[in-house]
Amino acid sequence: MKVRIVRIAVFVGALAVVSATTVQAQTVPPGGAAPVPILPQSSTPPPDTSVPGALADIPVVPVSFSYFGPYAVVDELEIPPLITAAGPVGCWSAPNADGDQNVGGGAVDFGTKPAGTQFIAFFARGTRLYVFDTSGGNYCWIDNSVSRS
């Protein structure tokens, strides 16, 4: 009987330690937003960038994100919002802050999303936002004629 009590006490103690460790290792509380990756800040903002009025209250920071190659300097939206396309929007492979980034300059058009499509916006450059398309499950640049969801 005494051995069982000791074993149960050891098991309960180990379970408490494992539970405490698991809770402390969790970086996002249940139901909370995922942390935004920390990117190197840029000393200059991206060229000709216009964040739409619907997102004007969200702080932005110019950062350098090497994933975007020649378009690496972008404005990062510090709180990625859920947005809705005000009208049909193209889904592009590049932003359009200057001439070499326009669609005629080599950006690939991935197709048009209908009005009402929802996205999560992460970055801005030129007149486009880098987003996650919640309906299609892919990432692309869209024109910034959007509203807040």
Domain definitions of the chain by residue range: 53-148
Q: In this predicted model, what pLDDT tens digit does every residue of 102-119 receive, in sequence order?
A: 555 667 888 899 999 999
- In percent, the amount of the chain with pLDDT more than 70 equals 68
The CATH code belonging to domain 53-148 is 2.30.30
Going by C-alpha positions, the residue among 46, 107, 38, 39 that lies closest to residue 73 is: 46
Q: In this predicted model, what pLDDT tens digit does every residue of 24-51 receive, in sequence order?
A: 333 555 666 666 567 999 999 998 888 8
Instruction: Report the pLDDT value the prediction gives residue 103, as an integer from 0 to 100.
Output: 53
- How many angstroms separate the Cα of 120 from the Cα of each of 2, 22, 80, 106? 58, 29, 6, 25
More confident residue, 83 or 26: 83
Rounded mean pLDDT, 44-71: 90
Rounded mean pLDDT, 75-81: 94
Half-sphere exposure of 102 (CA within 13 A, CB side): 4
